Structure 1
Amino acid sequence: MRRPIRRRPLSMTSLIDVIFLLLMFFMLASTFTRTTELPFSAGASGQGSVAQSKLVFVRLGPDSLSLNGTALTFESLVSQLQERKAPHVLVSLGAQVDSQRLADLLIRLKSVPGLQAQVLG
């Protein structure tokens, strides 16, 4: 007569080790911080009109920046906007402007209190 096969109890240690390693991997591979958010509104028809005296126009090119047609640098743009006390800025993008240059401009505009930037398409 044959002896019955006796089964060993399964060890949970190796399973717990694998789960722990997966948990550590996903905790280290993911990030829980938010990246910088740049809120802006795109131009659309039908939005409320803005008073022309409080409206300024910024033209952004790959190598240039102008405020109402006057060439400026990023450093002087913030001071000019604070002097004019304009609450609304229209930003027009020139050809070949990359997203990093637009992000740099929007970060500078964000430092002006009470300013709303609207990017034209």
Structure 2
Amino acid sequence: MPVKLAGPKRSRMSMTSLIDVIFLLLLFFMLTSTFSKYGEVELMAAGQAEGVEERQKLFVSLGADSLELNGQPVDLTRIAGLIRSQPQDGSGHLVLISPKEEASSQQLVDLLAVLRSVENLQTVVLS
């Protein structure tokens, strides 16, 4: 007489709890990670300026929709070139930035990012 050896009958595994765990892990990693890169902006307060007597001083006024270099309106894309073309004695330029109350912090950061490309430039943000 043949003996029938049958293994245990397998039931279908429920995927509901696995999907819940994957969703929770995905949500956790999305909320704890950052998708944007943070940049460093160097600021110097007006009282901390050292050795500025020998530098060529330039004044930048930053408004909500205006930008002026020494009282003349300029475009943000051209300000770095205009500062480079200013005469200097070899020690570089000192740019005093005066943001108006209606100017946003993003506009100030954009201006500082453009001015970063100028060599031998020191910026001081006036408050």
1:33 & 1:73 partners in 2: Cα distance?
27
Identical residues among aligned pairs (%): 36
RMSD: 2.6
Higher-Rg structure is 2
Determine the structure 2 residue equivalent to 1:35.
38
Could you tell me which runs of 5 or more consecutive residues in structure 1 were left unpaired when the two chains were aligned.
Answer: 1-17
Determine the structure 2 residue equivalent to 1:80.
82
1:48 & 1:116 partners in 2: Cα distance?
10
The offset of 1:114, in angstroms, is 2.2
State TM-score, norm by structure 2. Answer: 0.65
Residue correspondences, number: 105
Instruction: Rate the CA distance shift 1:68–1:34 in 2: closer, same or farther, 3 A.
Output: same
* Alignment of 1:44 onto 2:44: no
Determine the structure 1 residue equivalent to 2:118.
112
State TM-score, norm by structure 1. Answer: 0.68
The offset of 1:112, in angstroms, is 1.2
The offset of 1:48, in angstroms, is 3.1
Determine the structure 2 residue equivalent to 1:100.
106
